[in-house]
A = this chain, B = another copy of it.
Amino acid sequence: MKMRAQEIADKLSGQLEGDGSVEIVAMSSLSEARAGDISFFTDSKYGKQLATTKASCVLVPRDWSGDCSARSVIRVESPNAAFAHVGALYAPPPVVRLPGVHPTAIIGQNVQLGKEVSVGAYTVIDENTVIGDRCVIEAQVFIGANVKIGNGGLIYAQVTVREGTIIGDRVILHSGVRLGGDGYGFNPVIKPDGSITIEKIPQIGIVELGDDVEIGCNTTIDRARFGRTRVGNSVKIDNLVQLGHNVQVGDYSGIIAQAGVAGSTHIGQGCIIWAQAGISGHLTIGDRGQVGPASGLSKDVPPGEFYLGLPAVPRRELGAQLLLPRTVDKLKARVAALEAKLSQLDAQ
């Protein structure tokens, strides 16, 4: 994709100043721009970045004045909104998957495909599975037997969905998502002869996802020991997250990258689990509760509370912990003063 600055100005109904012939090939922030990039400027605190940017063109407010190192600027009403508009111009063309089943897809017995479903090359769908209307299943996906997927789903390449999984409407699964793998359940058993063996505990529940769930690349959600591991409506999960067996996540909650939740923990509605947080099993996080980044949670979080740290404590307590070195320093000074005073008294 290439456009000249003048063409972009025309599309934005903006007012170009400088070299309108410069070719724009990509978009960037002021600080990370390279030649050929277009950027935008809204806030005077970035004035220095504007004066030194390597961008070739910058969107600025109508009334802007100042220094700009770019070869052209375009004055617009809202640089922010205009930049989003440019984004649509420079976006990779949207991927269109026409309805239809690719001839190489393998569809098991009694599979029901809804209206206008698209199934990509080398995708395998096992028997008795039901796929709702307008679902797009990309290439190289594996969907096990007895799975139900609602309407309007989008499953990217190389996802696996194991048998019995139930998925709501408008769910998006990114590449590498693994739904329904066995939960981690083993029992060490000492045999009569004294030797040890490790018995696998059957994992015979399922995974159930509500409507409007989105799950990022390479995230894993284990099937329940019994019953279901459940992710509620409108839950948004980032990449490389792990949810153990029988975890329950309430509606509207978000779980950020690389967080992990151990078995049977209940996360309420509207919660945020920040990146790399680790949550022990059998806990309850109340509605709107949060667990901070890289925190390790080993107790319940009351509704609306924000727990943070390793081990995680309410945020206000963490502040005291972080101040501890300074607190100790002050205490040291006071003890030294006392010692000095006392040795003075002694000397008298």
Contacts and interface: CB of A to CB of B under 8 A. Distances in A.
B181 A178 contact: no
B186 A254 contact: yes
Interface string A13-55: 0000000000000111101100001000000000000000000
Interface in A134-160: 138-140, 142, 144-146, 156-158, 160
A293 B276 contact: no
Interface string A87-106: 11011110100000000101
A84 to B, nearest CB: 8
A278 interface: yes
A83 B178 contact: no
Contact of A181 (B182, B197, B239): B239
Contacts of A87: 202, 204-205, 226
Given A160-B156, A236-B186, A341-B342, A124 B122 contact: yes
Contact of A240 (B160, B163, B220): B220
Given A87-B202, A294-B294, 4 more contacts: A84-B226, A87-B205, A140-B140, A188-B252
Contact of A92 (B27, B164, B264, B342): B164
Nearest to A294: B296
Given A242-B258, A293-B280, A335-B335, A324 B322 contact: no
A321 interface: yes
B32 A248 contact: yes
A154 to B, nearest CB: 10
A221 to B, nearest CB: 9
A331 interface: yes
